[in-house]
């Protein structure tokens, strides 16, 4: 399990997007998606199976979220 800085489980991108209620939340979501896109491009990762429910949003501080690992389903 991937945990945030406060010990709580990281949430999926789907859950994160559903929680966006204010303009600053949406701005943070846009920034998160830009970081993810940059990471995928920089590492030349191409995938057809990338889904929001498989991407974790890892909160590393009260105000900072980074795209976390891909959630694996076994």
Q: CA torsion angle for 4, 48, 33, 38 (degrees, to 10)?
A: 100
pLDDT of 30-56, one tens digit each? 988 898 889 889 999 888 878 888 888
More confident residue, 24 or 69: 24
> Containing H/E element for 41?
helix 23-42
Q: Confidence band (pLDDT; 50, 70, 90) for 64?
A: confident
- Tell me: pLDDT of 70 over 90: no
Cβ proximity of 11 and 56 under 8 Å: yes
pTM confidence score: 0.73
| Residue 6: band (very low, low, confident or very high) from pLDDT cuts 50, 70, 90 | very high
Give the rounded distance of the alpha carbon of 35 from its chain centre. Answer: 9
Rounded Cα distance, 7 and 37, in Å: 27
């Amino acid at each position: 399990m991937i945990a945030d800085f406060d010990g709580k489980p990281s949430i999926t991108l789907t859950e994160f997007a559903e929680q966006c209620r204010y303009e600053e939340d949406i701005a943070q979501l846009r920034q998160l998606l830009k970081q993810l896109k940059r990471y995928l491009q920089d590492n030349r990762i191409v995938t057809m199976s990338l889904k929001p429910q498989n991407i974790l949003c890892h909160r590393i501080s009260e105000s900072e979220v980074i795209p976390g690992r891909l959630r694996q389903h076994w």
